[in-house]
Structure 1
Amino acid sequence: MSSESEAIGSTVAPAMWRDRVRAWSASAAYARATDILIIAAAASLPWSTTALAVFMLLWLVAVIPTIDWEQFVLDLARPAVGLPIALVALALVGVAWSAADWAERLHGIKPLSKLLLLPFLLGYFQRSQRGIWVFTAFLVSCTLVMILSWIVLALPQLRFAHTVSAGVPVKNYVDQSQEFALCAFALALPALTALRAKQWRIAAGALALILLFVANMFYVVSARTALVYMPVLLILFAALHLSRRATRLLFAGVAVASLVVWTTSPYLRQRIADVGIEYRAHDTSGIASTAQRLTYWRKSMKFIATAPLFGHGTGSIKHMFTVDAVGQSGLQAEVINNPHNQTLNVAIQWGLIGVLLLCAMWYSHVSLFAGRDLVTWIGLATVAQNITSSLLNSHLSDFHEGWMYVIGVGVAGGMALRARRTERILSPPHSD
């Protein structure tokens, strides 16, 4: 009898423990704590890679007990959810035919591994009501970086870390530009909505922040890639949210503002002039970014041509450049693991199959944001910025820009999916 009681007790105890964990993870306090972790991750993104990684890991651990795994598996059938997993799976399988050593193969998986968080974020923010808090935390954090950027331009000794560029208090000017541009365009819709509603204080505050972010990019420090994706975002915003007359007025204002900036910003004029200097230095300079990119792209196309369908395998980029650099000098002898173009980055490693998956994923994420509300605008701006900037960089694979994409698409996409589900529930059935 005692052994039978012990057996029953050993069965009941785990069941009671599971029930307690389930009840605790379903509580409002647990949900609030989980939300705080992802909010903290978004706030830490402009400042610290370590803090971001810690908060995202803690958030994932906190989310796992709350997941409806049956629904999670069903959601994988959605292209926006399943394609990021498929791209990472291709990277895992790609180690089998890579010619690189095993350290490089394993390292090649890491840049895309952050995409594994997208299904969890998309699922979680179909339930959480605090998605907008995540974006607010990121905006506030970037605003603090922007204010500090103006300060350290005058007082470089106040920089939190050793940075190469003046006006960059933390990280680097590429990451800072990506943040500031996204914040400026995300604020455009609240500013427009407030103007239409005659909420002058809100409109003035949003416009002031937009001007400060943009002015910092044009007068303090900026990545030239921003000059590529900012017009794209501007056209998207006008097409979605402005009338034809308002669009003409906006573009006229932008043209006048551009002329003023060009004549008053020696920094911007020098950045543009450097492109021509770097191009002409193509055969002799090993530090010119324009010359480097052109060399990387030509070599990348040559590598892709030798393995167009499946590529050279995961982590093979550095190996291919190393082999090609033998007997070369100058720029031709440079060995890199990043060709500064996301499509080429994928094509070298996984060929046409990888490129198709990448483009399909981007398209599925664009399709998530078909509405015209603030959340879908933030999501669309995030995807459009990443696609455009990835023409000149491997920004999906890069740490900072990649996490901006994952968090932005995951949070906004989950909220958009929840809104669609609610709309379907509330919509009356069609009658014949």
Structure 2
Amino acid sequence: MTVIAETPKLSLQGKLRDPAAWIRTVDILVILLALSLPWSTSLVGIFGALIVIAMLPFFEVRAFVRTVQRPISWVPITLFLLALVGTLWSDAAWGARLYAVGPTAKLLVLPFLLYHFERSERGLWVFIAFLVSCTVMVVASWTVTFFPDLTLKAKDVASRGIFVKNYIDQSQEFALCAVALAYPVVMLLRAKKTVPALLLCVLALSFIANMAFVIVSRTALVTMPIMLAVFGVLHLRWRTTLMILCAAAAVGVVAWFVSPQLEATVNSFKRDYQLYMEHGTPTSMGERLEYYRKSLKFFAEAPIVGHGTGSTRGLFEAAATGPAGLAAAQVVSNPHNQTLNVAVQWGVTGIVVLYAMWLLHLLLFRGEGVANWIGLLVVVQNIFTSLFNSHVFDFHEGWMYVVGVGVAGGMVLKARAPEKAGTSNAC
């Protein structure tokens, strides 16, 4: 009679001493963060802190130092440190200075995610969790479109089809998911796995349909074609890319005539510009043009190191002119452009650090594979949406960047490790 030995179960004390258990715990926390990202700001902040805390019991200091020594890690840290040091030459109140440091603090989590997912096997689970969460959000968006009273937003600020948060955040999520699915669809079709490819196509179209017929931000409208073009250039033959672009243009024309919501969103570009130029009305586009004009002036006044952390609002207060209802009288703490936001506070120094971070992260995701594709797409989206918003510093989009680059970057570094080891052994 053969006796099968049972694997001994670890006691609670044994689990607390088991590195694998702590890695699994961190994995779960990151997955929970990804699940909560489309829904909650408080939970994201809580899980972000817990992720770092859960790494500490079996933290390999030397390995983490090696991670931090990589430019992809220390350049984002440098942007945080610049914001911290920039408080020293700012004229703003100390409360405003320290408050302005806060949006850069999330970048400190990025090296921890790179370090962890260079060791974890569950990086893809994080992206699946985010996709599942956004899919549920699509259902919620359609639901509150037909039953507006079900929204969790206050009635005076609720937008059509928004269950929680706002239409800008929701559009960034849906655009990212829709374009990100293009890669696995193409890979599945090449492997002749038609059914799962069609299912993912339907899922991608559900995101696009929501943006076309419910609500979409103008930022997503501008940047989504760029993201699709990047995919075509990297992963398709030029003829296929041209065919897809033509088909997308045809779908866009049809959607234009079928969807009053999409037509109104596109027409708002021209309307907002005319109202601002002719009457100084503070429309969305008019306000941005006013913010950009004044921010360039502030930058010219202190081009090297800027006016200091948290100085933006005070500068706009001093430059406000005209009656309260005009765009020229608007006072803001954020010029709605990432480059100008950095330039006003930290000058050319800040711009160099910001663009170095983007460039390094773009270069990190060279190559094939789903991790490279997702990481590249996250960076590309952040760069181009930051033309119209400060999406590195904004809470939701900033966390999308940190999680996307951190998890995908760790996966890429893990995949490249055997190649480096093989090269070393060959030498």
Compute the TM-score of the two structures, normalised by the length of structure 2: 0.93
Give, in angstroms, the shift of residue 428 of structure 1: 7.7
RMSD over equivalenced CA pairs, Å: 1.7
**How far apart in 2 are the matches of 1:25 and 1:40?**
23
Give, in angstroms, the shift of residue 66 of structure 1: 2.5
The residue that corresponds to 2:371 in the other structure is 375
Check conservation: 1:22, 1:65, Cα contact below 8 A. Answer: no
The residue that corresponds to 1:207 in the other structure is 201
The residue that corresponds to 2:309 in the other structure is 314
* Shift in CA distance, 331/246, structure 1 to aligned 2, threshold 3 Å: same
Matched, 1:45 2:37: yes
**How far apart in 2 are the matches of 1:21 and 1:323?**
61
Deviations 1:197-244 (A, max 9, x none): 121221011000110101111111000001221111111100111012
Aligned pair count?
A: 412
The residue that corresponds to 2:9 in the other structure is none
| Structure 1 segment 136-285 matched on structure 2, within 5 A | 136-162=128-154, 163-282=157-276, 284=279
Identity %: 48
**How far apart in 2 are the matches of 1:80 and 1:367?**
9
**How far apart in 2 are the matches of 1:28 and 1:74?**
21
Give, in angstroms, the shift of residue 429 of structure 1: 5.3
Check conservation: 2:103, 2:393, Cα contact below 8 A. Answer: yes
* Shift in CA distance, 208/327, structure 1 to aligned 2, threshold 3 Å: closer
**How far apart in 1 are the matches of 2:150 and 2:172?**
22
Check conservation: 1:340, 1:393, Cα contact below 8 A. Answer: yes
Matched, 1:90 2:86: no
Matched, 1:331 2:323: no
| Structure 1 segment 2-151 matched on structure 2, within 5 A | 24-151=16-143
Give, in angstroms, the shift of residue 164 of structure 1: 2.3
**How far apart in 1 are the matches of 2:89 and 2:15?**
47
Q: Give the 3-state SS of the residue equivalent to 1:180 in structure 2.
A: helix
Matched, 1:400 2:396: yes
- Indicate the larger mover: 22-31 or 164-173: 22-31
**How far apart in 1 are the matches of 2:63 and 2:14?**
17
**How far apart in 1 are the matches of 2:272 and 2:243?**
36
Q: Give the 3-state SS of the residue equivalent to 1:425 in structure 2.
A: helix
**How far apart in 2 are the matches of 1:22 and 1:333?**
64
Q: Give the 3-state SS of the residue equivalent to 2:276 in structure 1.
A: coil
Q: Give the 3-state SS of the residue equivalent to 1:225 in structure 2.
A: helix
**How far apart in 1 are the matches of 2:328 and 2:396?**
28
Check conservation: 1:293, 1:340, Cα contact below 8 A. Answer: yes
Give, in angstroms, the shift of residue 328 of structure 1: 6.0
Matched, 1:412 2:404: no
Deviations 1:231-262 (A, max 9, x none): 11111100111012211221121122112111
Letter aligned with residue 95 of structure 1:
T
Give, in angstroms, the shift of residue 49 of structure 1: 0.4
**How far apart in 2 are the matches of 1:25 and 1:380?**
37
Letter aligned with residue 16 of structure 2:
W
What runs of 5+ residues in structure 2 fail to find an aligned partner? 1-11
* Shift in CA distance, 84/26, structure 1 to aligned 2, threshold 3 Å: farther
Following TM superposition, the consecutive aligned residue runs of length 4 or more in structure 1 with deviations greater than 4 angstroms are 20-23, 326-329, 427-431
Check conservation: 1:240, 1:372, Cα contact below 8 A. Answer: no
Q: Give the 3-state SS of the residue equivalent to 2:145 in structure 1.
A: helix
The residue that corresponds to 2:355 in the other structure is 359
**How far apart in 1 are the matches of 2:281 and 2:42?**
32
**How far apart in 2 are the matches of 1:366 and 1:25?**
38
The residue that corresponds to 1:300 in the other structure is 295
